[in-house]
Structure 1
């Protein structure tokens, strides 16, 4: 990873800021703290952050609405925090574009571990004989963690890139929603898989409509398949 990581923490509880920031400092990460959603949006317009830790229950704009607004213009990784432990809240966080979800009360060590896991995907180099994946007109650089289509770099979120890697490695295979959720998010979860459908819906909107050499197809009653043209 090049340079220091800069994290933005948004929570209206000062104890959360103090506990998480202490662990970030111990890992030599820089951070800034804000207490409401409006401040988050203002900060992201003015500065670069490598990751956002975002509470759901915020004064003014809820964290879910902040996340939706961010995803209109930015792919910054987002970890959502919530005092609610219901699975529906977790799925909602994933549906709107969050990269991870942590339920309060939590250990700040766990939060920082999740931060490091996501940053490894987006910053670290992963030596591999398959570092470059090619499918049709799409080229995925797993070391740089970026995607080019027809030579132009595309703006995808970390989760979207992980899903495209998973699809590419398993091209022409039908993958169930449960398999995708477990692989891309790391949850062994069988139930409401709307997060997968929403992620694919957002991803399809970003992909050019023609001459890709592949297509993400829905397979009724089963899941999805990355089908190649050749």
Structure 2
């Protein structure tokens, strides 16, 4: 169940939005001014979306948005009676993801909430399948490795080997461990590991920043700064 923070100094509107979202199965937190909104954000790290009014006492929505963007990445929808194009652009430039004017159709607001949460879920699922180490990105689903956004051609076995090292970054892995985990066998030519390590270094680690040889034991991948 997604948790949504609704911030509006008009308690009637805040309750209306909150009730509609609650009926859709969302967990709703209400705040009635900017300072209260920030308090709720700090005390509820699991908030997945913020619906934020602009014109509020103590701290307006624009200031709230600028402040919380230092802490949260969740979608933010501005809901405001201010309809000037400049206000919309300013809101989007400082970190909002969407803007809807008052008076609004509740069904439209709910539809936008659902759309943003779906998009955020897809983005999070993608990020879970990407490992970043320095300037290297490993895309687990597509079996691709990028360095500074440039695709590096690896064989399937090279990719599997590098992924195994990355998923166990910081650990010293014996050649036997690597061979069993990547090649799926306890028997075979252990020297194959060294051959593929050399190939990986030639392609993605020529400066020897990441893949370290632990003499007499095996290898370790370090997250170079």
**TM-score, normalised on structure 2?**
0.57
Cα shift at 1:123: 2.0
CA shift in 2, pair 1:84/1:109, >3 Å = same
**Contact between 1:121 and 1:145, CA under 8 Å: does it hold in 2?**
no
Cα shift at 1:150: 2.6
CA shift in 2, pair 1:53/1:145, >3 Å = farther
Output the CA distance in 1 between the equivalents of 2:134 and 2:57.
44
* Structure 1 segments (4+ residues) deviating >4 Å: 151-154
| Counterpart position of 1:186 | none
| Counterpart position of 2:148 | 212
Task: Please show how residues 91-130 of structure 1 align to structure 2 within 5 Å.
Answer: 91-123=89-121
Output the CA distance in 2 between the equivalents of 1:95 and 1:116.
22
Segments of structure 1 that go 5 or more residues without pairing to the other structure are: 125-141, 155-210, 215-230
Segments of structure 2 that go 5 or more residues without pairing to the other structure are: 138-146, 151-225
**Contact between 2:52 and 2:78, CA under 8 Å: does it hold in 1?**
yes
The DSSP-based 3-state class of the residue aligned with 2:47 is coil
| Counterpart position of 1:16 | 13
2:23 aligned with 1:6, yes or no?
A: no
Root mean square deviation of aligned Cα: 2.3
Output the CA distance in 2 between the equivalents of 1:152 and 1:38.
38
What do the CA deviations read for 1:154-208 (whole angstroms, capped 9, x no partner)? 9xxxxxxxxxxxxxxxxxxxxxxxxxxxxxxxxxxxxxxxxxxxxxxxxxxxxxx
Cα shift at 1:17: 1.5
Match of 1:65 among 63, 67, 71: 63
**Contact between 2:34 and 2:64, CA under 8 Å: does it hold in 1?**
yes
Aligned length: 138
The DSSP-based 3-state class of the residue aligned with 1:79 is strand
Cα shift at 1:148: 4.2
**TM-score, normalised on structure 1?**
0.55
Task: Please show how residues 122-161 of structure 1 align to structure 2 within 5 Å.
Answer: 122-123=120-121, 142=123, 144-146=125-127, 148-150=131-133
Bigger CA radius of gyration: 2
| Counterpart position of 1:77 | 75
Highest RCO, 1 vs 2 (Cα 8 Å, sep ≥ 6): 1
What do the CA deviations read for 1:98-117 (whole angstroms, capped 9, x no partner)? 01011111012111111000
**Contact between 1:122 and 1:145, CA under 8 Å: does it hold in 2?**
no
